[in-house]
Amino acid sequence: MSSLGELRTIALNARRSGNGAKEKNPDNLAAYLFLLPWLIGIVGFTIGPMAASLYLSFTDYNLLQSPLLNPPEFTGAENYLQMLGDATFWNSFRVTVTYVLVSVPIQLAVALALALLLDRGMRGLSIYRSIFYLPSLLGGSVAIAILWRQVFGKDGLVNGFLAIFGIDGPGWIGHPDYALGTIIVLHIWTFGSPMVIFLAGLRQIPEMYYEAASVDGAGKMRRFFSITLPLLTPIIFFNLVLQVIFAFQTFTQAYVVSGGTGGPADSTMFYTLFLYRIGFLEYDMGYASAMAWFLLIVIAAFTALNFWLSKFWVFYDD
Amino acid sequence: MTTENLLATPVNTGTAPTKSDGSGGTSGPSRRSSASYRARGRVFSTLKHFGLIVASLVMIYPLLWLVVSSFKPNDEIFRDLSIFTTNLTVENYVNGWNDLQFPFGVFMLNSTIIAVGAIVGNLISCSLAAYAFGRLKFRGRTLMFAIMLATIMLPFQVVLIPQFTIFKELGWLNTFLPLIVPKFLATDAFFVFLMVQFIRALPKEIFEAARIDGAGHFRTFAQITLPLMVPALATTAIFTFIWTWGDFFGPLIYLRIPEMFPASVALKGFIDAQSSSDFGSMFAMSVVSLIPLFVAFLIGQRYLIKGFATTGIK
């Protein structure tokens, strides 16, 4: 079961049983010892810092000041108000949301289509799978982002290909209308990891469903829409939720492709890149913390929306 | 900090019964035997393979071009975009190796140190936590488990600035510690989850037998559970390696002096030098930085791909 599936089960159980029947817990001491590193991590590096960044988002805090010797000054909602009027901020928000809404669905659709094409037992399956999967392992690296700059450069691979058809392509990376598109293409190029998850999902569908459907005279199309697709929806949903969450945090590709500037004309100023520049280049950690919390809220909202929408299309077998 | 790669995550390392590739659910044609049907199936199959081969080439071409270009003389890289060339040279590698403030080997070594530290940390801390979540009953288990799962989805930006402050106050900037120490505290919750899944799937009788033989929890963990969960540990090690090696954001903020740069941040030096037109060196060192990832992919394919079972699945 997926991490999402587990969370769903826990939530369902909590609703069903309330806080009833307390079970005996014979392993308390041993368990806490085993969990000690995790407990220190979760308190010291996750929950504590979350609370701290929430507080810092209401302060004026400079990267260079020591918070112990010189506590940050409380400024109320000033950072959030500043955000409202910050055109670069809203631009980065728009760029990132565009990226998420375009690249995630396309990437998942490509991944699903290829997973469906790669039949069980077909010739060359493992070779195709490896070739499609490899880019997703390398895709997040700086080296690939550097390569992308050249592939989509004025004299790059893409324009070399277009030249065969007599088309004189622009310098994609340097053009405000196209730069974001190149990063979207890079994301789609890494469809291998969701594809492999879809493949695993397809293999889990019990053979007898198809046999029973065939006996009942269901054709290929019917079997696909009545068996394959419904049983795959939890996996599509799982991929969708996680991909959206992670796409919002895209940094490396935007940084490298734009040379760290978010250019041209802020067209690749992704949210996280802007946050990095505010916090670590302009040292305005209070504002950066406010941006981080705004991001958390946006991501939570998108995730909640995804869960709500899932009622209409995700099929649960239980 | 390697969130974009977490996508590759829902792995269950072969705990679920992965069926062999032999039987076909959607591969229908074999069932019907009319000759025309078979012929149509063959045409379809040929078309499909043709499409898949074209798709494979499109996917792999940029990588091949990168590798071939890295062996081309500088002035030829953009003059001839094909991957077929006879004029090969290792000059780019020689130049690129010494193009930055330090020999590229220094950066590769730094990457290696960080990656090894992260792997050791994840293996120890995540397996300890996973044993507790997977095998033990204790107060607060459901709540803690839910928190652990939720942190998989937490955007790291929301803890970034306080974490940075902590490490700065500890005097850990320009050391590898901020990149390694959190791994010893099981902060990569995804791997905890992966191992919990694996431990749950182990036969209960084994643990029963260990208990009857009088083994305590630590012995059961070290001598029975760990050896059985080697596939999950291997998956963790490989993914940790790939993510840490590719990580850019963490080293970018914590390491400001060139001698501490890992390869990912060092490569940035080639784009910072905008005026330079030494694309050959840049390509060559890009290839060098990708080699360990590629090797990990080759060695770990079994765990990375074959092991991919369920998790997304009910």
CATH of the domain at A264: 1.10.3720.10
- Give A-chain residues touching B23 at CB under 8 angstroms: 120-121, 207
Given CB atoms, is A12 within the 8 Å cutoff of chain B? Answer: no
Instruction: Confirm whether A72 is domain-assigned.
Output: no
If contacts are CB pairs under 8 Å, which of residues 69-108 in chain A contact chain B? none
Given the structure tokens 């998790």, which residue do they identify? B311
Query: Min CA distance, B299 vs chain A (Å)?
Result: 12
Residue bearing tokens 């077909």: A122
Query: Per-residue confidence of chain A (318 residues) as pLDDT tens digits?
Result: 677 888 888 888 877 765 544 556 678 899 999 999 999 999 999 999 999 999 999 999 998 888 888 889 999 999 999 999 999 999 999 999 999 999 999 999 999 999 999 977 788 888 999 999 999 999 999 999 999 999 998 888 999 999 999 999 899 999 999 999 999 999 999 999 999 889 988 988 888 999 999 899 888 889 999 999 999 999 999 999 999 999 999 999 999 999 889 989 999 999 999 999 999 999 999 999 999 999 999 999 999 999 999 999 998 865
Residue A132 lies in a domain: yes
Four-point Cα dihedral B249, B255, B261, B266, nearest 10? 50
What's the structural domain count of chain A?
1
Question: What gap in Å lies between CA B82 and CA A254, rounded to an integer?
Answer: 27
* Helix ranges, B71-103 (H): 91-97
What residue of A is the nearest CA neighbor of B284? A143
Both tokens of A112, joined, read 């699903």
Contact at CB, B157 and A296, closer than 8 angstroms: yes
* In a domain? residue A252: yes
Residues 6+ apart with CB under 8 A from B207: B135, B220, B224
Residue B30 class from Cβ within 10 Å (0-12 exposed, 13-18 middle, 19+ buried)?
exposed
Interface of A with B in 130-169 (CB under 8 A): 130-144, 146-151, 153, 155-157, 160
Instruction: Give pTM, 2 decimals.
Output: 0.89
Report the alpha-carbon distance of residue B241 to residue B191 in Å, rounded: 13
Report helix, strand or coil for B308. Answer: coil
Beta-carbon pairs below 8 A across chains A and B: 379
Q: Is residue A21 part of a domain?
A: no
Structural domains in chain B plus CATH codes: 29-89 (no CATH), 94-306 (1.10.3720.10)
Closest-CA residue to B309 (of B149, B198, B191, B151) = B198
Contacts of residue A3, defined as CB under 8 A and 6 or more positions apart, other chains included, come to B10, B149, B152, B153, B190, B193, B311
Q: Round to whole Å and give the CA distance between A207 and A219.
A: 15
Q: Which class for B227: exposed (0-12), middle (13-18), buried (19 or more C-beta within 10 A)?
A: exposed
* Residue A94 included in any domain: yes
Longest Cα–Cα distance in chain A: 77
User: Please, what's the largest Cα pairwise distance for chain B?
Assistant: 76
Q: Is the dihedral angle over the CA atoms B52, A129, B246, A282 positive or is it negative?
A: positive
In a domain, A126, yes or no: yes
A72: Cβ contacts below 8 Å, ≥ 6 apart:
A56, A59, A60, A61, A62, A65, A285, A286
Tell me, what's the pLDDT at A65? Answer: 85
Model pLDDT for residues B204-232, shown as the tens digit of each residue: 898 989 989 988 899 999 999 999 999 89
Segments of chain B with pLDDT less than 70:
1-34, 273-277, 305-314
Alpha-carbon separation of residue B309 from A143, A202, A238, B208 (angstroms)? 30, 10, 14, 27
Instruction: Residue A196: name the closest of A141, A126, A123 by CA.
Output: A126
Q: Which of B6, B27, B132 sits opposite A121 (nearest CB)?
A: B27
Contact across the interface for B305 and A130, Cβ inside 8 Å: yes
Cβ within 8 Å, pair B56-A251 = no
A296 found inside a domain:
yes
Rounded Cα gap, residues A43 and B135, in angstroms: 23
Closest CA to A196 of A124, A108, A106: A108
* Other Cβ atoms closer than 10 A to B256: 12
Contacts of B311 in chain A (CB under 8 A): 1-3, 197, 200, 238
Report the alpha-carbon angle B292-B298-B300, nearest 5: 95
Whether A68 is in a domain gets the answer no
Instruction: Note the pLDDT of residue B240.
Output: 94
pLDDT at B263: 96
Domain containing A291 equals 89-313
